[in-house]
């Protein structure tokens, strides 16, 4: 393990105990027979996909879900056995490597079925696919109609291919729309079964749908956000935020009334102000829209971000915080001691959602992994 003092003070502390805890809460909350596909796209929502996968595999997760083939291959390098589903689009040119490395691919055309089957024949492997149905999200998938049933029949007749799953994704507009989508999905499955096509893994739920609609859980759910501790619906699950994003004060500067801070002086001091500089900027994962608009927590107190956030640094007003010193911890979200600083507030102020903020945490931010209550690993992508 890397020496923690050798990585920068701007850090994402990732609590793997909480990740395990959240997984168990989700497990308890859904039907016993429903599998879980843990979604770890976008570097595990910023937490570090490999470590997240390792923890979830340790908890007995059934499947790993990612958005791109490259994300799947990153996981496959470390974990040989775990089934991995690319939920997004894979270009024809990349299908061969998917077959070689036994990655399950999402398809919605006969053309891709044929390519996979040909590659399967060449490599003596049976590629696994999940068929995507567009029940109303209008992003990817075949429409739920007779033509699609014919396409799926044709794919099913290809020799070197296994249709292991079929899935859709909800727009979560409201209950009426969600049921409409779910019923369209169920209907196409029924039609396929009439044709004697029985697909073993049928799935439609993300975190929210799995929490809200138990009757939609089917053979598998695909939670992302809830694994990392967040869900924006009422639920009996007690989820814990996995990530804390923090840094340490690098400099303190006294300025007088009337003096400005950072580019363009969008902040001008209305009093004598103590300015703390933090070595965290928008390229680390703090949204630039928090300029003059967000807060860090220092010594348990809110300190306002003043002036424009720079690429690598930002400034906060610490005039009202007693005994503040260079090296003090400044937390953007997550835990400071026992206090939980709300990521939801940060997302609201930045006018975005929590998943975006988490996935913004960039490569140059070291991840500090906590397990069994102690530091278990230190990962710096740049020093690896």
Ligand X SMILES: *Cc1c(COP(=O)(O)O)cnc(C)c1O
Sequence ranges of the binding site for substrate: 139, 311
Q: Which is nearer to ligand X, 112 or 355 (CB)?
A: 355
Q: Which is nearer to ligand X, 249 or 343 (CB)?
A: 343
Work out how close the CB of 196 gets to ligand X at its nearest, in angstroms, rounded to a whole number.
28
Work out how close the CB of 220 gets to ligand X at its nearest, in angstroms, rounded to a whole number.
11
Cβ partners under 8 Å of residue 81, min gap 6: none
Q: What is the DSSP letter of 224?
A: S
CA distances to 8, 215, 336 from 305, in Å: 21, 45, 18
Candidates 118, 206, 284, 317: give the one binding ligand X (CB under 6 A).
206
Residue 225 as a binder of ligand X (CB under 6 A): the answer is yes
Q: Which is nearer to ligand X, 162 or 356 (CB)?
A: 356
Work out how close the CB of 126 gets to ligand X at its nearest, in angstroms, rounded to a whole number.
24
Q: Which is nearer to ligand X, 206 or 246 (CB)?
A: 206
Work out how close the CB of 288 gets to ligand X at its nearest, in angstroms, rounded to a whole number.
23
Indicate left, alpha or beta for 41 from its phi (over 0: left) and psi (-120 to 50: alpha).
Answer: beta
Q: What is the DSSP letter of 204?
A: E
Binding mask 79-98 for ligand X (x = CB under 6 A): --------x-----------
- Pair of tokens at residue 313: 């640094």
Residue 46 as a binder of ligand X (CB under 6 A): the answer is no
Residue nearest to ligand X (CB): 224
Specify the stretch interacting with ligand X by CB under 6 A; choose among 15-23, 151-159, 222-230, 328-336.
222-230
Residue 38 as a binder of ligand X (CB under 6 A): the answer is no
Q: What is the DSSP letter of 376?
A: E
Binding mask 157-176 for ligand X (x = CB under 6 A): ------------x-------
**How far apart (Å, rounded) are the C-alpha atoms in residues 359 and 30?**
26
Residues marked as catalytic: 41, 263
CA distances to 81, 115, 285, 324 from 125, in Å: 15, 13, 41, 62
Q: Where are the alpha helices (DSSP H) in the chain?
A: 16-29, 41-45, 49-58, 69-78, 95-100, 110-123, 146-157, 175-194, 207-212, 343-349, 354-359
Work out how close the CB of 34 gets to ligand X at its nearest, in angstroms, rounded to a whole number.
14
Work out how close the CB of 203 gets to ligand X at its nearest, in angstroms, rounded to a whole number.
8
Residue 207 as a binder of ligand X (CB under 6 A): the answer is yes
Q: Terminus-to-terminus CA distance in the chain, angstroms?
A: 11
**How far apart (Å, rounded) are the C-alpha atoms in residues 212 and 226?**
12
CA distances to 143, 162, 261, 276 from 292, in Å: 46, 54, 10, 14
Candidates 47, 51, 202, 222: give the one binding ligand X (CB under 6 A).
222
Binding mask 263-302 for ligand X (x = CB under 6 A): ----------------------------------------
Candidates 46, 141, 165, 223: give the one binding ligand X (CB under 6 A).
223
Residue 241 as a binder of ligand X (CB under 6 A): the answer is no
Helices vs. strands in the chain: H and E counts, helices first? 11, 21
For the four alpha carbons of 113, 209, 19 and 32, in that order, the dihedral sign comes to: negative
Residue 354 as a binder of ligand X (CB under 6 A): the answer is no
Q: Which is nearer to ligand X, 44 or 224 (CB)?
A: 224
Q: What angle do CA 266, 268, 273 make, to 5 degrees?
A: 130
The binding site for ligand X (CB under 6 A) comprises 39, 41, 87, 169, 206-207, 222-225, 355
């Amino acid at each position: 393990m890397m020496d923690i003092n050798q990585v920068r003070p701007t850090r994402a502390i990732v609590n793997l105990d909480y990740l395990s805890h959240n997984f168990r809460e989700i497990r308890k909350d859904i039907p016993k027979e429903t599998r879980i596909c843990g979604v770890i796209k976008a570097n595990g929502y910023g937490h570090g996909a490999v470590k997240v996968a390792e923890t979830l595999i340790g908890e007995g997760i059934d499947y790993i879900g990612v958005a791109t083939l490259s994300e799947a291959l990153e996981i496959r390098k470390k974990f040989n056995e775990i089934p991995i589903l690319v939920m997004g689009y894979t270009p024809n040119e990349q299908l061969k490597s998917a077959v070689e490395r036994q990655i399950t691919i999402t398809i919605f055309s006969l053309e891709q079925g044929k390519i996979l089957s040909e590659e399967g024949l060449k490599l003596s492997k049976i590629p696994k696919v999940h068929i995507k149905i567009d029940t109303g999200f209008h992003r990817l998938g075949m429409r739920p109609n007779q033509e699609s049933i014919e396409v799926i029949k044709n794919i099913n007749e290809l020799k070197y291919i296994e249709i292991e799953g079929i899935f859709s994704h909800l727009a979560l507009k409201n209950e009426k729309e969600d049921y409409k989508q779910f019923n369209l999905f169920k209907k196409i499955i029924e039609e396929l079964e009439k044709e004697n096509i029985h697909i073993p893994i049928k799935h439609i739920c993300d975190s929210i749908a799995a929490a809200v609609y138990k009757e939609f859980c089917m053979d598998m759910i695909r939670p992302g956000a809830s694994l990392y501790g967040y869900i924006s619906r009422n639920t009996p699950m007690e989820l814990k935020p996995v990530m804390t994003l923090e840094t340490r004060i690098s400099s303190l500067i006294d300025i007088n009334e009337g003096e400005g801070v950072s580019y363009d002086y969008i902040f001008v001091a209305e009093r004598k102000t103590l300015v703390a500089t933090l070595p965290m900027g928008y390229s680390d994962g703090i949204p630039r829209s928090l300029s003059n608009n967000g807060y860090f927590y220092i010594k348990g107190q809110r300190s306002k971000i003043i002036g424009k956030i720079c690429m690598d640094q930002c400034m906060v007003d610490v005039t009202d915080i007693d005994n503040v010193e260079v090296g003090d911890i400044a937390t953007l979200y997550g835990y400071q001691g026992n206090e939980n600083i709300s990521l939801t507030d940060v997302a609201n102020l930045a006018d975005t959602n929590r998943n975006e903020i988490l996935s913004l945490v960039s490569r140059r931010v070291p991840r500090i992994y906590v397990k069994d209550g102690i530091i278990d690993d230190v990962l710096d992508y740049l020093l690896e």
